[in-house]
A and B are shown apart, each in its own frame.
Chain A
Amino acid sequence: MSTPPYADELNLCLCHTCGLACDMTFEPHECERCGAPLHRRKTNSLTRTWAYMIAALVFYIPANLLPVMNTKMVGNGADSTIMSGVLEFWEAGAWDIALIIFIASIAVPGIKFVAITLLLVTVQRDSEWARKERSTLYRFVEVIGYWSMLDVIVVALVASLVKFQALADIEPRPGILFFGLVVVFTMLSAMSFDPRLIWDKERENPHNEEVTDEVTSH
């Protein structure tokens, strides 16, 4: 199979903002078409990705432990966390809604932590393992990115609607702030990661993959 050349080999650089293939002969610092800064690779990609992800991981703890909202019905107040919201739906028989909230609020951030860590560690170890699949994994992380905002929006809408003074009142609680921060920081983390790093080492030994395949088949 004929493999396409890498941008570096042709002395080109992709502009991330407008998609132009920029000629790097004179080492320009900006894209000549849209004026956005040009980088062959995102600057400090790995450090930034780690930093944002660890920040998100720290916020993930209060996000799950602290209550996200308080429901007051005829004077009796009750705090609820994200997980207790899921369980409430589950016990009421609404398993589909319980599943949607569980996936958006608990599974998606969890998957993102695992996936980003996997991508970072394999890139740092110059791994040749499953490059194409890792690229797909990165695209998947980008796609699921913002769906965790779901709970923030649900709490906001519910809290703004249920305002009947003594009869019934729902208020947001600090857990939702940490939850929102988890979403923002995991998004920043995924944006900082440069998926091209997965392929960078292939260029130095282009036939490595075939060779290792043979070795493992023995």
Chain B
Amino acid sequence: MATTDQLIICEHCDSVYQKATLAKHQKTLCTRCGGVLQRYNGLTVEQRLALTFTALMLWIFANFYPVMSISLKGVKNSATLWDSVLALSMGPITFIAMVAAIAMIIAPIFQLLLLIWVLGFALGGRRSPGFKLSMRWLETLRPWSMLEVCLLGAMVAVIKLAGLLDVLPGIGLFALAALSLMMIRIAGRDIRELWDLV
């Protein structure tokens, strides 16, 4: 098995390569199909864990503070992400509320908690209990976590309502903006490197 550790297989065309050591900003591409094989990742376990805790704080702000508030003739109203999920859950369309809840709230928080779990143990050079399961769930959750889309959606909603009434972006929106950028950095596919580290 020692020999296959240094091999890398292109997931798009099944070509086999030797792993390369990358310097900053470098990536390797498959010569057959042009897919990315490896990308340089400058994060150490400590840095990634620190960023994950920051992201957890941002998640709390993004979920407990209103994303925006509006006022119409002196009456004010504000909504959090959870309020918007509830707005979808009325009537026959409850299923879509579930999808929205997973995409905006549930998948990101599970990603963050799993990351803290595996990275916390990795800091001490150990594999966490349930390491295999946690790593597999991180892979499964990734495509269903849609914070970037959520951010763009919130911005479109602000502009959409600005024509009708007074709109004020809330703390939740700024937290969401920072959180969605951080998730791209910390929860990407490069967490697979943990398999080699611990």
A interface residues (Cβ-Cβ under 8 A, vs B)? 1, 3-8, 10, 12-14, 16-23, 32-36, 89, 92, 94, 97, 100-101, 104, 131-132, 135-136, 138-139, 145-147, 149-164, 167-168, 171-172, 174, 176-177, 179-181, 183-184, 187, 191, 195-196, 198-199
A147 neighbours in B (Cβ, 8 Å):
149, 152
Q: Is the CB of A94 within 8 A of B79?
A: no
Q: How far is the CA of A89 from the CA of B99 in the complex (A)?
A: 27
Cα distance, A162 to B83, chains bound together (Å):
12
Rounded to whole angstroms, the CA-CA distance of A17 and B165 in the bound complex is 48
User: Which range contains the number of B residues in contact with the other chain?
Assistant: 35 or more
Q: Is the CB of A138 within 8 A of B12?
A: yes
**Is B24 in the interface zone, CB < 8 Å from A?**
no
Residue contact A6 to B88, C-beta cutoff 8 Å: no
> Given A34-B136, A146-B149, are A162 and B70 also a contact pair (CB < 8 Å)?
yes
Q: Looking at the complex, which of B14-22, B55-63, B114-122, B178-186 is the stretch in contact with chain A? A: B14-22
| Contact flags B60-78 to A (C-beta < 8 A → 1, else 0) | 0000000111101101011
Give, as a whole number of angstroms, the nearest-CB distance from B152 to chain A. 6
Decide yes or no whether B43 CB sits under 8 A from chain A. no
Q: Give chain B's interface residues, CB within 8 Å of chain A.
A: 1, 4-5, 7-9, 11-17, 30-35, 67-70, 72-73, 75, 77-79, 83-88, 90-93, 95-97, 99-100, 103-104, 132, 135-136, 139, 143-144, 146, 149-150, 152-154, 156-157, 159-161, 163-165, 192, 195
Distance between Cα atoms of A195 and B13 in the complex (Å):
7
The residue from A13, A34, A199 contacting B132, defined by CB atoms under 8 A apart: A34
Q: Which residue of B lies closest to A163 (CB)?
A: B77
Task: Please determine whether B93 and A154 come into contact, CB atoms closer than 8 angstroms.
Answer: no
Q: Is the interface of A mostly helix, strand, loop or mixed?
A: helix
Q: Is the CB of B143 within 8 A of A157?
A: no
Q: Does the CB pair A196–B13 fall under 8 Å?
A: yes
- Whether A3 contacts B13 by the Cβ 8 Å rule is no
Closest to B158 in A: A157
**Bound complex: CA A150 to CA B35 (Å):** 27
CB–CB B160/A154 < 8 A: yes
Instruction: Please state if B93 and A174 are interface contacts (CB–CB under 8 Å).
Output: yes
Asked if residues A156 and B9 are in contact (CB atoms below 8 Å), the reply is no
Task: Enumerate chain B residues within 8 angstroms of A89, measured Cβ to Cβ.
Answer: 160
Contact A131–B87 (Cβ < 8 Å): no
Question: Given contacts A21-B4, A146-B146, is CB(A5)–CB(B79) below 8 Å?
Answer: no
The answer for the CA separation of A5 and B10 in the assembled complex, in Å, is 11
Whether A20 contacts B195 by the Cβ 8 Å rule is yes
Picked from A7, A17, A172, A184, the residue with its CB within 8 Å of the CB of B14 is A7
With contacts A34-B195, A159-B87 known, is A149 near B12, CB below 8 A? no
Are B72 and A164 touching (Cβ within 8 A)? yes
- Beyond the given A154-B160, A167-B72, A172-B90, please list 10 additional residue pairs across the A-B interface where CB-CB is below 8 A: A5-B15, A6-B15, A7-B14, A33-B195, A149-B99, A152-B99, A159-B88, A161-B161, A162-B164, A172-B93
* A153 & B33 in contact (Cβ 8 Å cutoff): no
Tell me the complex Cα distance, A104–B75, Å: 33
Question: Whole-angstrom distance between the alpha carbons of A146 and B104 in the complex?
Answer: 12
Q: List 14 A-B contacts (CB under 8 A).
A: A10-B16, A19-B9, A21-B4, A21-B7, A35-B136, A139-B12, A149-B150, A149-B153, A153-B100, A156-B87, A156-B88, A157-B87, A162-B161, A163-B77
Is the CB–CB distance between B85 and A156 below 8 Å? yes
Contact of B86 among A18, A139, A160 (CB under 8 A): A160
The docked-state distance in angstroms from the alpha carbon of A94 to that of B156 is: 11
Kindly state the separation between the CA atoms of A12 and B165 in the bound complex, as whole angstroms: 61
